[in-house]
Amino acid sequence: MQEYIQDAMTFMREYGRPCFFLLGTFTCNPKRPEITSLLLPGQNAIHRHDITARVFKQKFKYLISFITKLHVFGPTRCWIYSVEWQKPGLPHAHILICFINKIHPEDIDSLISAEIPDPSTDQLLFDIVTTNMIRGPCGALNRSSPYMVDGKCTNRFPKDFTNDTVTHVDGYPIYRRRSTDNGGQSFIKTISNADIDIDNRWVVQYSLLLSKTFNAHISVEFCSSVKSIKYICKYVNENY
């Protein structure tokens, strides 16, 4: 891992500190038919790490190729990643992509969204986002959520409503999350036999293109901070 960190910092010295996409997590989807079709009666994905590992590797390789060879977001200069295994047994990857052409703040909304899609215009994306990209809910709505530590959400959800995306001083933007009064969407999610109204405050930021292509949890960040390198390399095992 120490050698990997040195390689990552070499990228920074060579190419400077350009704009990055930080794919915060590309997580294996345990409900994919490639996994469920191979499970024995009574099994689920955590019982067959061999299957989940193979399927994840295939999808992950295609994701990297999709971005770096097809240039769906533009020509790429370099990329690094680390793969982690969560305690329940599902792998996920953290990825940094450096593009040749810088991404400007005014382009963020066309590439990254933190809002629930309108089901009347894109039912498929609505289903994918509401299934894969909703955090919790946690906090007062669900204190048993695995994201809760000492009574607080570790990812600081729910986020605040905002009508415009704002680039932040720490290198990460505050993404547009409109309230239902200002054109935002919401839906009802049932948790512990209770119907909860979920709005944009609970959406994990995502790429419309990547979500529709891979139908998985793929959180995406726009960042230009050296801290992202440290985040990529800090650990390979995560327990929660």
What share of the chain in percent tops pLDDT 90? 38
User: Does one domain contain both 108 and 140?
Assistant: no
Range of the domain at 65: 1-112+206-240
Distance CA 180, CA 129 (A): 17
Which residues in the chain show pLDDT less than 70? 1-9, 11-24, 86-89, 139-148, 151, 169-171, 224-227, 230, 234-240
User: Does one domain contain both 104 and 136?
Assistant: no
User: Does one domain contain both 25 and 91?
Assistant: yes
Token digits for 223? 């960042």
User: Does one domain contain both 33 and 18?
Assistant: yes
User: Does one domain contain both 119 and 169?
Assistant: yes
Burial category of 198 from C-beta neighbours within 10 Å (exposed 0-12, middle 13-18, buried 19 and up): buried
Contact indicator for 78, 168 with CB cutoff of 8 Å: no
Contact indicator for 60, 26 with CB cutoff of 8 Å: yes
Distance CA 79, CA 22 (A): 10
Contact indicator for 24, 94 with CB cutoff of 8 Å: yes
DSSP-based three-state secondary structure for 191: strand
User: Does one domain contain both 108 and 218?
Assistant: yes
User: Does one domain contain both 179 and 215?
Assistant: no
pLDDT at 24: 66
Distance CA 186, CA 174 (A): 20
pTM score, whole prediction: 0.84
User: Does one domain contain both 37 and 69?
Assistant: yes
pLDDT at 193: 79
pLDDT at 139: 67
pLDDT at 209: 94
Contact indicator for 157, 198 with CB cutoff of 8 Å: no
* Residues ≥6 apart with Cβ < 8 Å to 111: 21, 73, 103, 207, 220, 222
pLDDT at 240: 43
Distance CA 226, CA 240 (A): 26
User: Does one domain contain both 72 and 135?
Assistant: no
Whose tokens are 């009666």? That residue is: 41
pLDDT at 93: 87
User: Does one domain contain both 74 and 135?
Assistant: no
To the nearest 10°, the Cα dihedral for 205, 207, 211, 212? 140
pLDDT at 20: 63
DSSP-based three-state secondary structure for 53: helix
Question: Using the 8-state DSSP alphabet, how is residue 177 labeled?
Answer: B
User: Does one domain contain both 210 and 192?
Assistant: no
User: Does one domain contain both 175 and 143?
Assistant: yes
Token digits for 76? 């790429």
Distance CA 172, CA 89 (A): 29
How many structural domains compose the chain? 2
